[in-house]
Amino acid sequence: MHRITPLDHTHYDEMLMPGQDTRPSYQRFANWLNQAPLAWLRDKQSEADTLFRRVGITFAVYGDESGSERLIPFDTIPRIISASEWKTLEAGCIQRVTALNRFLHDIYHEQDILKAGIIPPEQILTNAGYQLAMQGIDLPRQVYAHIAGVDIIRHNDGGFYVLEDNLRTPSGVSYMLENRKMMMRLFPELFASHDITPVEHYPNMLLDTLRSVSPAEVDNPTVVVLTPGQYNSAYFEHAFLASQMGVELVEGQDLFVKNGYVYMRTTSGPQRVDVIYRRLDDAYLDPLAFNPGSMLGVPGLMSVYREGRVTVCNAVGTGVADDKSIYPYVPDMIRFYLGEEPILHNVPTWQLRKPDDLAYVLDHLSELVVKEVHGAGGYGMLVGPASTQAEIEAYRLRILEDPANFIAQPTLSLSTCPTFVESGIAPRHIDLRPFVLSGKKVQLVAGGLTRVALREGSLVVNSSQGGGTKDTWILKEDITC
Amino acid sequence: MLSRMAGCLYWMARNMERAENTARLLDVSLQMSLLHASSQDDLLVPLDVTGSTADFLRRHHTPTPQAVLHYLALDSENPGSIYNCMRNARENAHVVRVKITTEMWEQVNGTWLEMREWHARGLDTRSASSFLEWVRERSHLFRGAGYGTMLRNDTFHFSRLGTFIERADNTARILNVKTKQISDNEPEAENILDYYQWAALLRSVSGFEAYRDIYRDSITPERVAELLILRQDMPRSLRACFGEINKVLGRIEGHAGRSARRRASEIQARLTYSSIEDIFADGLEQTLDSLIDDIILLGNTIHHSYLEAA
């Protein structure tokens, strides 16, 4: 297990080295920033807010009566990653997602990894994310997680650590694209002075990926994006991706199954659908196979899927691989399937179903972060150092009720990045979510979504908890000073 | 195009057109009710045309100008109120946001935001005419923004289809209700009251100036009926509406709409080759009743062929 030095209240800053010298990748930006009057930057920031609101009003999240939209705050100071760092991140993400896809294929087929004793079988077979219905089904190119969002943080040792793998319906890529568009609009001069890798071709790459995993017999596959509907919080992204790819955005009611195929209802009659990029959880996909009360899904979809006559992206049953109880095994998966050493570190994780780990964690609750195995979105977790004694004791009781439902990790020191806040420019904690596409090949656009915890000292970057986003720049070449 | 998307475009346009028609009806009825305040008949006309008399009377008992105005303009519990039409138009537009042009979306969304302000302020008979004028203007803007900015593909066609089906339906209904009302008038009052009622009817479909231009003569039922049923050059006439409906149906891609096209062509043929004398010989009321039934049937056929296909 890779040991992390404990939180010491010194953080890795993306722009400044200890001693306040600027890191090479930020040098040009820092020179520009130093010359930019604060008032002008403030104007630019509010221009961005206005523009996003306008885009928001025209096509964003919509749910309440007033038609007003919740916007995720956008910060105008970019997160810059050097070319060589990106190389490591890219290779690490590709390696990781490749191994995870091999793992998913394995556990729904031969289960070699279980036979080899690397993961206890009950951990997989009794996992809520494991779909028995997927056993023995052969998927095109044996890909399960076609779109993966890998959450990565930088610790104060300067290294990158994977926090979690999102293999079900990861979202946020529309912000990556919109943030870039916004920055180019606000600060064109920065793009002239920096050699920044473009991200705008993501929708193309996504469409190619989806088409490359269509059922084998199809020459010119029809791809659709399946959304739960306009009241879903990520509806903006669903509509955005469908329109960027030039494919139909469908709801469950637009699709039906007939004679063993999936069709969509169009004004010129039924049209066959070959690949469904679904942004709907497994449980809602097919009321005949899963949740019978689901009005969002397509009755009979699973039977067509099992016959290999439609491809569902991501595959059904990927949830077992991004479960927090399986996460500790990912480095072993990489060694087992690829015979390689992991490029990106895992955060050391205590599994509370193990008595030794449980004992250690209960003794060190005030230092650790404890999470529910199936939790997401920053809800229901305990951040030891930031909690009161009473909160810790209350959480202890929850753990003792069902230890297997929890994991614990050291309190990581997320790196900081200068961020525009009310008092001026100050460091705030950030993470990174690159989007890995797996089809004919495994690839990612050079970039990702950088989330920032806008509250001072906060380590929680989730947008549901007051997080914002930044544009993420990957430099084409390293800048040497 | 996805049937659901086509349905949203169609209903977006129908709702906007319905809001305009309701506003036109209300405007004329309120003015007429001032003309002879003793009678409630004029106030019942917009309720009759919109098919909501029973619901209104159940909730309000007596049709005062204020009550009718509120019910048809702002009442959020009346599914056919202008308020709800605009709300429906906006909700449908939101679904097809990525299909329609920015101008069109901003038009519908802006209308809805202003509508909410009117709703919050409330209306009385003094502010009514500026509100009703605003509704008409917003509807003109909606059509204009669509006509001026949209690519001529099925997105455009389904929204046009909604506009003209709704308009045809409205013209037929208003003519029908007035025809029945006028034939009920006391014989001795006939002449003077008839004149005002026919004139009001013409104004409600922007036909008063057209009538003067074409006929340059006194208002007679035959000519009003001819203008609103048979004249090709009168934009709100049934024949003009069906001209548009047929044109649009002919341009929609695919072969799913054969029965809708046949039905619409039959109606158009009847309107093209009838004379007003034939219509009066058959009975104006009967002709209008059967036209209204035909429009309803056509609407159902359109639904069946395109909007809920397969």
Check residue A436 and give its pLDDT. Answer: 98
Residues B128 and B176 in one domain: no
Q: With a cut of 50, say whether residue A6 has pLDDT above it.
A: no
Structure tokens at A322: 């991004």
Answer whether A227's CB lies under 8 Å from A279's CB.
Answer: yes
Residues B221 and B163 in one domain: yes
Answer whether A124's CB lies under 8 Å from A130's CB.
Answer: yes
Output the CA angle B133-B191-B274, nearest 5 degrees.
Answer: 75
Structure tokens at A304: 């067509």
Distance from the B310 Cα atom to the nearest Cα atom in chain A, whole angstroms: 6
Residues B156 and B30 in one domain: no
Residues B162 and B279 in one domain: yes
CA distances from A348 to A21, A164, A412, B50, B304 (A): 31, 12, 10, 69, 60
At which of B127, B150, B173 does a domain end?
A: B150
CB < 8 Å to A265, chain B: 2-4, 308-310
Check residue B38 and give its pLDDT. Answer: 61
B98 CB within 8 Å of a chain A CB? yes
The per-residue pLDDT of chain B, averaged, comes to 90
Cα torsion through A139, A121, A148, A75, rounded to 10: 170
Of A243, A264, A265, the CB nearest to B98: A243
CA contacts within 13 A on the Cβ side of A62: 21
CA gap A352, A354 in Å, rounded:
5
Q: pLDDT tens digits, residue range B70-128?
A: 999 999 999 999 999 999 999 999 889 888 998 899 899 999 999 999 999 999 888 99
Q: pLDDT tens digits, residue range A211-259?
A: 999 998 899 999 999 999 888 888 889 999 998 999 999 999 999 999 9
CB < 8 Å to A64, chain B: none
At which of B99, B119, B150 does a domain end?
A: B150
Check residue A62 and give its pLDDT. Answer: 40
H/E run at residue A332: helix A330-333
Interhelix angle for B190-204 vs B208-215, to 10°? Answer: 110
Residues B204 and B276 in one domain: yes
**DSSP letter (8 states) at residue B71:** H
For the segment B190-214, the average pLDDT, to the nearest whole number, is 84
- Where b means 16+ CB within 10 Å and e means fewer, A406-424 reads bbbbbbbbbbbbbbbbeee
Residues B156 and B48 in one domain: no
Q: pLDDT tens digits, residue range B222-245?
A: 999 999 999 999 999 999 999 999
Q: Do B310 and A243 touch (CB under 8 A)?
A: no
Residues B201 and B271 in one domain: yes
pLDDT range class, residue A7, cuts 50, 70, 90: very low
For the segment B44-57, the average pLDDT, to the nearest whole number, is 89
At which of B107, B125, B150 does a domain end?
A: B150
CB atoms within 10 A of CB B14: 24
Distance from the A319 Cα atom to the nearest Cα atom in chain B, whole angstroms: 30
**How many A-B residue pairs are in contact by the CB < 8 A criterion?**
72
Residues B228 and B308 in one domain: yes
Comparing CA positions, the residue from B62, B59, B29 lying closest to residue B46 is: B29
> A378: left (phi > 0), else alpha (psi -120 to 50), else beta?
left
Q: Search chain A and give the residue with CA nearest B90.
A: A67
Is A446 or A70 the better-scoring residue by pLDDT? A446
Helix%, strand%, coil% for chain B, nearest 5 = 80, 0, 20
Domain that holds residue B77: 1-150
Check residue B187 and give its pLDDT. Answer: 57
Residues B223 and B236 in one domain: yes
Q: Search chain A and give the residue with CA nearest B114.
A: A66
Q: With a cut of 80, say whether residue A3 has pLDDT above it.
A: no
Of A248, A250, A269, the CB nearest to B254: A269
- If one counts the domains in chain B, the total is 2
**Tokens 């409205």, located at residue:** B170
Check residue A376 and give its pLDDT. Answer: 63
For the segment B146-151, the average pLDDT, to the nearest whole number, is 94
Is B220 or A473 the better-scoring residue by pLDDT? A473
Q: pLDDT tens digits, residue range A450-481?
A: 999 988 877 777 766 678 999 999 999 887 65
Ranking B8-12, B46-50, B249-253 by mean pLDDT, the lowest is B46-50
Residues B74 and B203 in one domain: no
Answer whether A233's CB lies under 8 Å from A61's CB.
Answer: yes
Residues B261 and B186 in one domain: yes
Ranking A57-71, A256-270, A434-448 by mean pLDDT, the lowest is A57-71
A51 CB within 8 Å of a chain B CB? no
Q: pLDDT tens digits, residue range A296-355?
A: 899 999 999 999 999 999 999 999 999 888 999 999 999 999 999 999 999 999 999 899
**Tokens 């199954």, located at residue:** A257
Residues B109 and B176 in one domain: no
Structure tokens at B300: 């159902």
